[in-house]
Structure 1
Amino acid sequence: MARPAQQAGPSEPGREPPRARFGYISGYSTVDNTRLEALAAIPPKKGGLTDREFRVFGWFVGATPGPDQPVMKTTAQIAERTGTSPDALGRIVRKLVKRRLLFCVEEFGRQRFYKVSPYFASQQEAIDQRSTIRAYNPPDIPGLPGFEPRPVKGELA
C-alpha cells in the first residue's frame, strides 16, 4: 500500500506533518498539450478560436466523464457553467463541431450530447486510445507540425 503524499520540509517533534490527498479523485483525462497549444496560438482573425470558444472547449475537456462518453449536460446547464447565453453556446458548439473538436454522439429529443475529439483528450489506455483515434478524422489546426490544409468543399486540390 502506498504512503500518502507528505509536505516537504522539517516537522516539529511530536507534530504530524500535513498530508495531501491523492491528485486523482475521480475521472481524469490525458490531454495533448501540443495540439492545445497549437489551437490556442492561432489568432481568431486567421481562423482560430476566440477566448470564449476556447473556454467552452476547455470546459468540455475538463467535464468529460470517462472513456468515449459524452458530457451529459443540457445546453442551459453548460451555458450557466461557462458564463454564456444558450444561443451563444449553440453557435460556439456548432463551430467546434465543424472544426472536429467536438462530436455529437447522442441525441435525446432536441438535446444533443457531445464529446471531445480523442485527438485532444482521452481517458483510455494508450492501446485503446490509438484504436479510437483511427475512427475519427483529425481536427483542422493550422500551425501544427505536419498539418496540411484540406480543400474546402467545391474547390479543386
Structure 2
Amino acid sequence: MAKAARKVLALVDEETGQYSEVQRAAYAFDGPHINVGIRKGRQLASGASGLTDRQYRVLSWYWFATEQSQGPVTMTGTDIAKELGLSPDSLSRTVKFLKKHRLLVEAGGIGRTTFYRTTPYLAFIGTGFEHREAVKEWNPPELTVAEPRSRRRKKTDEEGDPS
C-alpha cells in the first residue's frame, strides 16, 4: 500500500534556495468544542433580548459545560451554583426561566435531580448533518424572552422633582 504524502510547511531562503521546515503548533483546543450560533448568541446577549446578566451567564455556562453531543450536564444544582457563585435557589429560578423559554431542555436525571442541556438551536456538538437532525425534534426558542426593564430608579413624591 502506498504511503500517504505528508504536507510540510516550509520557509524558503530566496538567495540560496534552502528551505527549513516550520514546526507545527499543537491544536488550539484542549478538548471537545461546541458550535454556537453567532447571531443567536449575540441576540441573546443584547439588552433587547430581555435576559438578565445572570440568565445569560447561566445559559452560556450550559453551552460550554456540555461535553458530548446532545448530552446533559450531569452535575447537581448545588455544584453548578457553587461554580457560578450563585445560591442554589437563584440557580433553580434561573434554570426554570430558561427552560420555560426553551433555551434549556431537560435531558434526563437521577432521582430528584434533573439534568439539562442547551437547545441544539443555540449550541451543538457534532457534524452539520447531526445538527440538522437534532433540530427537527425541537421548536426553536424565541430570542426575545421579555421586554427589557428600565434600570432607572423612579423618584417618589417625597424625594421631589429634580427640575
Query: Would you say same fold, with TM above 0.5?
Result: yes
* Structure 1 segments (4+ residues) deviating >4 Å: 1-4, 17-20
Runs (5+) with no aligned partner, structure 1: 5-16, 144-157
1:109 and 1:49 mapped to 2: Cα distance?
30
Change (3 A) 1:51 1:82: same
**1:56 pairs with 2:58:** yes
Change (3 A) 1:19 1:117: same
Runs (5+) with no aligned partner, structure 2: 1-5, 10-21, 146-163
Q: What pairs up with 1:8-157 in 2 under 5 angstroms?
A: 20-43=25-48, 48-142=50-144
2:116 and 2:76 mapped to 1: Cα distance?
10
User: How many residues were matched structurally?
Assistant: 128
Using the size of structure 2 for normalisation, the TM-score is 0.72
What fraction of aligned residue pairs are identical, expressed as a percent? 34
Q: Deviations over 1:104-140 (max 9, x none)?
A: 1102111010011001111110011001001101001
Shift of 1:40: 1.5
Using the size of structure 1 for normalisation, the TM-score is 0.74
Query: Cα RMSD (Å) of the superposition?
Result: 2.2
Residue type of the alignment partner of 1:35 = K
2:40 and 2:23 mapped to 1: Cα distance?
37
Q: Highest CA radius of gyration, 1 or 2?
A: 2
